[in-house]
Amino acid sequence: MVLLNFWATWCGPCRAEIADLVDLQKRYREKLEIIALATEEDDADEVRRFVEHSGINYRVAMASDDVVHAYGGIAALPTSFVIDAQGRVVQKHVGLNDPSLYERELKAMLGMPVGAKVEYFEDNGQVFLKNAERATELPGVDFSRLSAGQKTAALRQLNAKSCDCGCGLTLAQCRINDSACRVSLAKAVELVREISGGGAKGKTKTAAPVGSSPHQQN
| Through-space distance between the first and last CA atoms of the chain, rounded to whole angstroms | 56
Cβ–Cβ under 8 Å, residues 25 and 55: no
Per the structure, the count of domains in the chain is 2
Containing domain of residue 200, as a range? 129-205
SS3 state of residue 218: coil
pTM over 0.75: no
CATH number of 88's domain: 3.40.30.10
Q: Which helix (H) or strand (E) covers residue 28, if one does?
A: none
142 and 192 assigned to the same domain: yes
143 and 106 assigned to the same domain: no
pLDDT in tens, the chain (218 residues): 899 999 999 999 999 999 999 999 999 999 999 999 999 888 999 999 999 999 999 999 999 988 888 887 787 899 999 998 888 888 888 888 887 888 888 888 887 776 656 566 566 665 666 667 777 888 889 999 999 999 999 998 998 999 999 888 889 888 877 778 999 999 999 999 999 986 544 443 333 333 334 444 44
* Per-residue CA distances from 97 to 16, 67, 93 (Å): 10, 23, 8
